[in-house]
Amino acid sequence: MNTYRTLPARRGFTLVELLVAMAITTIIASVLVSVTAVAVDAWNRSRAELRASRQAKFMVDSLVKDFESLVTRRGNNFDWLSATSSKNLPGTGTHRSTNAANLIFFTAATDRYEGKINTPTDLGGDVSCVAYELDYQDPINGSNDQYSTFTFYRLLVNPDKAFESLLGKPELETAFQAYRNQVTDVENFVCENVFQFSMTFHIEVVKNAGTAEATKMTVPVTMGPTAGGGRITSFRVLGTGLELDSAPSSNVTVDELRAGRLAAMEVSLTVISDFGLRQMQNSKIKGKALQKLMARNSFQYSKLVELPGM
C-alpha cells in the first residue's frame, strides 16, 4: 500500500517585498558610494597638499639659506641686491601668475663649487651670486608645450665668476644680463607648480631723525607687478643705502625709506596642485570660477628671515 504525504507549499517573495529589498539595497549602495567618494576626495586633497608642502618647503629652505648668508657692504657705490617684478607674468592666456619677483643678490652660498669647498675644485672666494626666477615651461626639456608648468629656477654663479663680472658693479641687473639666459636652464630647476612668488622687504625707518621726536618704525614693502596700492616694482640694496621706485605708505617718504635699514625679508609662495593646474590648462575657466578653483587647489606658504647684521 502506497502512502502519499502532502508537502507544504513553498511561498516565494511577493512583489512588494522585492521592491522594498531593492530600495534598501539602493540606499545602502548610494551611501557607500557617497562615503567612498568623500574619502577618495579627502585622500587626493591631502596627497596634493603634502606634495605642494614638500615643494614649497624645499623652495623656501633654499631661499632662506641664501638670505641668511646675504652679503652687503656699506660705504661704496656697488649694487648688492636687485629685485624686480616680472613684466611678463608666467603663464598662458588669461591664466597667468598673479606675481613673480626676479631676485639677484650676493651670498656666501655653501653649495658653491658644487659643495666641494677646500678642494682643488674650489677656486677661492666665498661670495657667490644667486638668481631666482619663476617661469612657465616644461621643467624637463625647457620648452613651452603641453607639459609646461609654473617652474622655479635658481642659478648659482661661483665666487670666481662673480668676482670677475658681477661684484663691484653699480647696476647688478645690467651686469647680470650675461647670465640671464642661463637662469632657466634645466640644471637650475628647483621645483614646479609655484603659481606665484612675491617678496616683502621690511625696512626699519627712523622718523624725525636727529630730533627729540625721533621714533623707529618698520615698514613692509611688497613687490608687485605694478606700482601703487602699497606695492613697488623694483628694490635694490646699494652700498650707499636702499633704492626703491615709490613709497608704499603715506606715513613715510621715499627718502626716509632709502635712508632706512633692511631688517628682514619675507618670501611668499603659492603652490598649485597638479589637478588644479590641469583644470587651468584644459578649460576656459575665468573670473569667479577661476578664483574658486585656485582657492580649492592652491596652498600658501611664507617665511620671514631677519637680517640683524644689515
pLDDT tens column, 211-225: 777 788 888 989 888
3-state secondary structure of 7: coil
pLDDT in tens, 110-168: 888 877 776 767 677 889 999 999 999 888 777 776 778 899 999 999 999 999 999 99
pTM: 0.80
User: Which tens digits make up the pLDDT trace of 51-91?
Assistant: 767 777 878 888 989 999 999 998 899 999 999 998 888 88
Q: Measure the CA–CA gap between 84 and 80, rounded to whole angstroms.
A: 14
Which residues are within 8 A (CB) of 119 and not within 5 positions of it... i.e. 6 or more apart? 113
pLDDT grade for 104, boundaries at 50, 70 and 90: very high
Mean pLDDT along residues 7-11: 59
The DSSP secondary-structure symbol of 188 reads G
How high is the pLDDT of residue 283? 63
φ, ψ of residue 250 in degrees (nearest 5):
-75, -10
Q: Which residue has the cell 652679503?
A: 71
- The span from the CA of 192 to the CA of 269, in Å, is 11
